[in-house]
Structure 1
Amino acid sequence: MSPDHPPGLDLDRLRGLLDRELPGLAQGPLTARLIEGGRSNLTYAVSDGTSRWVVRRPPLGHVLATAHDMRREHRVISALHPTAVPVPRPLLLCEDEEVLGAPFYVMEFVEGTPYRTAEQLAPLGEERTRNAVLSLVDTLVELHAVDPAEVGLAGFGRPEGFLDRQLRRWSKQLDASRSRDLPGIDELHAALGRTLPGSPAPAVVHGDYRLDNVLIGADDRITAVLDWEMSTLGDPLTDLGLLAMYSRPPVLPDSPVSTTALAPGHPSPAELIERYAARSGRDVSAVSWYTAFACFKLAVILEGIHYRYTLGRTVGRGFDRIGDLVPAFIDHGLTALREG
């Protein structure tokens, strides 16, 4: 299939839908390219030669609709677009699978750069890197300040028992992909269960909040927060714990997991936590638990990828090193709990 017709995107059918639902939006013939970097749902940049848009759909051959719920993603960005949280303007949700073979939505194209490695950040220099990462914290504060009921997201999740449910969910995921001895992971899971903190008032939670899931503009500020597939209503400090985890240098120098924390000028986890606390007014005294939980969750995700790799079910580079990361995240989680 040609680059202008990437897999999973029938441009003729898409054009027909746009002309029916949003007449006059597209002027010339459509072209498209798959935007690399997404780990789950597929994202395409579509152009008519003058304007650009983004189409987002589930992966090809997906099975679990709940894991790739386009309606849910469209709903959260539609709710957040009028707020101070920068998200692309949603244009169209299509749940008719006859068009592209799966539900999808169309949103505006936002200029900006996703930074995934320290090498990509390095040309910015220390001051600009620092400003970009601090902007990440400030935007998280804005997200958690949104009143879910005021923006129509009152029923977006089940905040009661959120942490306990999350811990059980990721424990089940671990059991489903456990194929080798992982020293310390059962100890980490048990310790998290024993020290479960009381959650603050629920907020809109992104679920995978880190530098490579946002776009940074020319002024080093965030132009859009992307990849809302794990968003829900829940404990906002889970986002902070994840951000803190990703903001310490990776455990392997050539880590296939985000290496942005190695960039000169990148603030420390402690500085990011302090800024979040000062700007949000939230009690972050239990943040070590949330960091440890983020480590447990990532260890489980990486072990699942490693398990699929051992079965020959992964395609691409770097999967052979994923398994080496798992013990390091287990150790990081246990250390975070001890130090907390």
Structure 2
Amino acid sequence: MDTREVRQGEELDKEKLEEYLKQNFPSYPDGPFDIRQFGAGHSNLTYELKSGEWEAVLRRPPKGPVAQKAHDMEREYKVIDAVHPFFPLAPAPMDFENGDLLGKPFFIMERKHGVVYDTEWPEGVTPSVELARNISREMVDRLVELHDIDYTKTPIKNMVKPEGFMGRQVEGWIRRFDKAHTPDSEEGKELKRWLLDHIPDNEESTIIHYDYKLNNAMFSKDEPDRMIGLFDWEMTTVGDPLADVGAAMSYWIEADDPEDLKQGLGKPPLTTEEGFYTRKEFMERYAEKSGRDLRHMDFYLAFAYFKLAGIVQQIYYRYQKGQTDDPRFRHMNHFVNRLIKQASVQAGLEMKSKGE
């Protein structure tokens, strides 16, 4: 996974952090200490910490005020601590710090090494249709594997309330979206009513990652179609597994998707290239491997696009309020509008884009 120099304004207090590492990690060596930043992502900030052969990853919230219950580092740390023994693709947790040291809570986890497929093929990987299909299959099968874990036998059971999950999700994301709404974004009134009226009656509950996408997975350098890591467990909970599938599909962009959907977060992901599963193929394999009935996927997909619109709108709201100056966020309202339209189409609703 590529790192870069730390972005201006997102620096860590190097002296304090090094002293903390020396005090809390017996294996931490003397010698030069280096901090680099992982460049991907639009939410939490993630850094590589390295001294000699010792290395780890630090994860912390973004600058400025954050939405209530968002960017909960302690909860994410507890999640990976609970999940890792049952699903080793989750990085091993190392330590949590409550915020006194750097002004924001953070946690430390293991540094995994491999390749991440995002918008371009990584150096050293030879692209092929066969590899794209194998990567797609691996993405499906590992999601099924995660959903097959009996959560009642893991510590995560003490952190969750599965009953009424989808109802809380729909109502909660409507509230979050409305709270972060700006006049240049769609309101999605009809869509919100439709979602509230069509919540499926599915009582199955499993561990769900809820941010399952290609660039949150890491694959082996030697076996480029074998997943070796899965990151960003901030949204993980126990709930309807089909909500997880829907969320995954909201990120799984296809070659024939509208241009403003494909480029909403920048350059289109590799899933638009030949050989990668379509969303239909992904869901068909998931149904086959899991044995689950996907007849109500229109709801889950519509909600997933709306939820993603809410996430992007929160980011855009922070930019509009001057809580971040990251130029990537300047025009994110356009992507919010596309996602609301995409959700409405999935729900079978007609709508005009804002300004039409």
Secondary structure in 1 matching 2:108: strand
1:50 maps onto 2:53 in alignment: yes
Question: Which sits farther off after the overlay, 210-219 or 288-297?
Answer: 210-219
1:161: Cα distance to partner?
A: 1.3
Matched residue, 1:109: 111
Kindly provide the CA deviation profile for residues 202-252 of structure 1, in whole angstroms up to 9, marking residues without a partner as x.
111212111111112221222111111111121111110112222233532
Question: Which sits farther off after the overlay, 219-228 or 184-193?
Answer: 184-193
Contact 1:252 1:325 in 2 (8 A): no
Matched residue, 1:330: 340
In the alignment, the residues of structure 2 paired with residue 182 and residue 66 of structure 1 have an alpha-carbon distance, to the nearest angstrom, of 23
1:115: Cα distance to partner?
A: 2.4
Secondary structure in 2 matching 1:83: coil
1:174: Cα distance to partner?
A: 2.5
Secondary structure in 2 matching 1:44: strand
The unaligned stretches of length 5 or more in structure 2 are 350-356
Contact 2:298 2:347 in 1 (8 A): yes
Matched residue, 1:251: 258
Matches within 5 A, 1:176-191: 176-180=179-183, 185-191=188-194
In the alignment, the residues of structure 2 paired with residue 302 and residue 5 of structure 1 have an alpha-carbon distance, to the nearest angstrom, of 21
One-letter amino acid matched to 1:228: W
Contact 2:82 2:155 in 1 (8 A): yes
Contact 1:5 1:33 in 2 (8 A): no
1:289: Cα distance to partner?
A: 0.9
One-letter amino acid matched to 1:79: A
Matches within 5 A, 1:36-185: 36-63=39-66, 66-95=69-98, 97-117=99-119, 124-180=127-183, 185=188
Residue 39 to residue 179, structure 1, CA distance change in 2 (3 Å): closer
1:176: Cα distance to partner?
A: 1.9
1:28 maps onto 2:31 in alignment: yes
Aligned residues: 337
Give the TM-score normalised by structure 2.
0.84
Question: Structure 1 vs Structure 2: percent identity of aligned residues?
Answer: 34
The unaligned stretches of length 5 or more in structure 1 are none
Residue 319 to residue 16, structure 1, CA distance change in 2 (3 Å): closer
Matched residue, 1:209: 212
Residue 79 to residue 311, structure 1, CA distance change in 2 (3 Å): closer
Matches within 5 A, 1:7-26: 7-26=10-29
In the alignment, the residues of structure 1 paired with residue 117 and residue 131 of structure 2 have an alpha-carbon distance, to the nearest angstrom, of 13
Matches within 5 A, 1:208-227: 208-218=211-221, 219=223, 220-227=225-232
Contact 1:141 1:279 in 2 (8 A): yes
Q: Which is richer in helix?
A: 1
Find 1:236's aligned residue among 241, 251, 257. Answer: 241
In the alignment, the residues of structure 2 paired with residue 240 and residue 4 of structure 1 have an alpha-carbon distance, to the nearest angstrom, of 34
Contact 1:85 1:142 in 2 (8 A): no
Residue 63 to residue 328, structure 1, CA distance change in 2 (3 Å): closer
Contact 1:251 1:325 in 2 (8 A): no
One-letter amino acid matched to 1:301: I
Secondary structure in 2 matching 1:193: helix
One-letter amino acid matched to 1:195: H
